[in-house]
Amino acid sequence: MFNRSITFLFALGFLAVGQAQITWRRAYGALGPDEGRHVKVMTTSDFLVAGNTGSFGPGTGDAYVLRLDPDGELMGSYTYGSMDVERATGLSILSDDSWLLGGVTNGNVGQGYDGWLVKAAPDGSPQWEKFYGGADWDFFESVEPGSGGGSILAGRTYSTGAGGSDAWLVRVNDTGDTLWTRTFGTAEEEGFYDARQTDDGGYIAAGYRVDTGGDRDAWLVRLAPDLTVLWDTNVGGDSADVARDVIATADGGFSIVGSTESYSQWVEHLHAKVDASGALLWVRHWGQINDQEAYEHVELIDGSYLSAGYTRTSGGGGSDMFLLKSDPTGDFVFGRTFGGDDDDAGAGLDLLADGFVLAGTTRSYGTGGDDVFVVRTDLNGATLYETVSPTFDPLSISDPGPSANASLTLFPSPSSGPLTVRANERLREVAIWDVTGRRVLAQQLQGLEARLDLDLPAGTYVLTATTEQGQVLRQAFILQRP
């Protein structure tokens, strides 16, 4: 079930000395779609970024984890999955810097989609995986640590409950064995996107529920330690609203962020606060002139908040990764955008002693298509430079599928140019990528062969050739100069 690929990259030629740069913007990935969903700071001060990849692994989609040093250098990358589809939707780092990935898989034969949990050692090696759910579709959206060990997994299930999808909580021990599972809902649709243990040993969960009239509201549920429902609260208006992240606040209340369509023609960033009894204290919605959503947030020591997501209201073009700071009453303090001409978005957020780190996805930078996007800021949410440094992840790439017999030959190799490309199936396009993931040549063609004049510096490159059937063939080559 596991495919584990690890690459360690080492600096060549020199070792940086002195004070490290504390702000940066970086993109990571390869030739397929890659995305970042969560970022956490390890005890070593390295960053762990979890998301999903179409570039690596044995299946059409696999979980993807990057380990970065404080300067953003790629220390290791790992994939987890099967020949089927896996998606990581939650990340939890344990006290020894091992980690848990929560998500969904259809690799459990005969079970449709299941909740999925993977435990990995600090070096990325898989220790175990577990499946959760029944004969129908079941999804995990988050994994959070539990008090006294184990984890709380939140999502939705179609296998059990009152009907439709029901909100779903599963409590597991340190080895992933189920301690209990509960569903919450009616004959309509419900789901949780996040759940955490509270100081009293109970739980707070957030997501959405749909009423009999079809209106979807953001939804919070507070549970006692014995799982009795203490209260539940709806947040939203007369259209679609959802809570994607919930935190307990220092004053004993709870804060949620997500999205709302109830207050504008646009999708807006939703932020709401309730007190310890579930009474709504305030609701804020940001966007007004275009789409904006939030996916994760934190409370700072002064009671203010930071939220990560995306915005189309400002920035470089399309959507941009967005960091919003609000005061303890939810009022706007500042907003920062990170991105380029294409679509970029934030999803994960964590705190540093000297700033913040965000993770998401970029189409503006990197190899083309989607890449993992990570930004380290100062305490004002800013970076010293706006330049984004791309890193091409050289994990091994496999190309299983109906055209697996297609082959590619490059000669001469090493080459001083020109380079001849020959395939046993008709090609429609060839492209060349440098080691930073930048596309440096693209050529449309029809036929089995192409001759490329390479006006490029000496170095290592990757050539991709797309067949008329859509299969992408890849091969590295070395370009030499006299």
* DSSP string covering 177-190: -EEEEEEE--SS-E
Q: What is the mean pLDDT of the chain?
A: 88
Classify residue 403: in a domain, yes or no: no
Classify residue 399: in a domain, yes or no: no
Which segment of 11-25, 81-95, 365-379 scores lowest on mean pLDDT? 11-25
Classify residue 146: in a domain, yes or no: yes
Q: Show the tokens assigned to 399.
A: 């190309």
Task: Write down which residue in 335, 365, 392 finishes a domain.
Answer: 392
- How many Å apart are CA 169 and CA 389, to the nearest integer? 40
- Rounded to two decimals, the pTM is 0.80
Classify residue 11: in a domain, yes or no: no
Q: Is there a single domain that holds both residue 420 and residue 384?
A: no
Q: Is there a single domain that holds both residue 324 and residue 445?
A: no
Task: Write down which residue in 368, 392, 416 finishes a domain.
Answer: 392
- How many Å apart are CA 419 and CA 140, to the nearest integer? 48
Classify residue 5: in a domain, yes or no: no
pLDDT at 5 over 60: no
Q: For residue 286, give the nearest of 249, 315, 258, 320 by alpha carbon.
A: 258
Q: Is there a single domain that holds both residue 332 and residue 427?
A: no
Q: Is there a single domain that holds both residue 382 and residue 447?
A: no
Q: What CATH number does the domain containing 448 carry?
A: 2.60.40.1930
Q: For residue 207, give the nearest of 258, 139, 153 by alpha carbon.
A: 258
- How many Å apart are CA 458 and CA 451, to the nearest integer? 18
Burial label for 405, CB within 10 Å (0-12, 13-18, 19+), is exposed
- How many Å apart are CA 90 and CA 57, to the nearest integer? 19
Q: Is there a single domain that holds both residue 384 and residue 417?
A: no
Domain count for the chain, please give it.
2
- 21: confidence class by pLDDT, cuts 50, 70, 90: low
Degrees, nearest 5: CA angle 38-41-44: 145
Q: Is there a single domain that holds both residue 421 and residue 369?
A: no
- 27: confidence class by pLDDT, cuts 50, 70, 90: very high
Q: What pLDDT is recorded for position 401?
A: 41
CA 218 to chain centre: 22
Task: Write down which residue in 392, 417, 445 finishes a domain.
Answer: 392
The residues, any chain, with a CB within 8 Å of residue 357's CB and separated by 6 or more, are: 39, 41, 47, 349, 350, 374, 375, 376, 377
Q: What pLDDT is recorded for position 232?
A: 97
Q: What pLDDT is recorded for position 4?
A: 38
Q: What pLDDT is recorded for position 326?
A: 98
For the segment 364-397, what is each residue's pLDDT rounded down to a tens digit?
998 767 999 999 999 999 999 999 999 988 775 4
In eight-state DSSP terms, residue 108 is S
Helices of type H across 33-91: none
- How many Å apart are CA 465 and CA 445, to the nearest integer? 10
Q: Show the tokens assigned to 347.
A: 């999803």
Q: Is there a single domain that holds both residue 382 and residue 468?
A: no
Let me know how long the chain is. Answer: 482
The residues, any chain, with a CB within 8 Å of residue 407's CB and separated by 6 or more, are: 423, 424, 473
pLDDT at 83 over 80: no
Q: Which residues of 275-368 form beta strands (DSSP E)?
A: 280-286, 292-299, 305-311, 320-326, 332-338, 344-352, 355-362
Which segment of 121-135, 212-226, 366-380, 400-414 scores lowest on mean pLDDT? 400-414
Q: Is there a single domain that holds both residue 331 and residue 468?
A: no
For the segment 273-288, what is each residue's pLDDT rounded down to a tens digit?
999 999 999 999 999 8
Classify residue 130: in a domain, yes or no: yes
Mean pLDDT computed over 62-86: 91
Mean pLDDT computed over 90-95: 96
Q: What pLDDT is recorded for position 359?
A: 98
pLDDT at 12 over 60: no
For the segment 170-182, what is each residue's pLDDT rounded down to a tens digit?
999 999 999 999 9
Give the structural domain span for 141: 24-392
pLDDT at 417 over 90: no
Q: Is there a single domain that holds both residue 434 and residue 387?
A: no
Q: Is there a single domain that holds both residue 243 and residue 291?
A: yes
Q: Show the tokens assigned to 183.
A: 């569903």
Which segment of 44-48, 214-218, 400-404, 450-454 scores lowest on mean pLDDT? 400-404
Q: What CATH number does the domain containing 249 carry?
A: 2.120.10.30
Q: What pLDDT is recorded for position 446?
A: 83
Q: Is there a single domain that holds both residue 427 and residue 280?
A: no
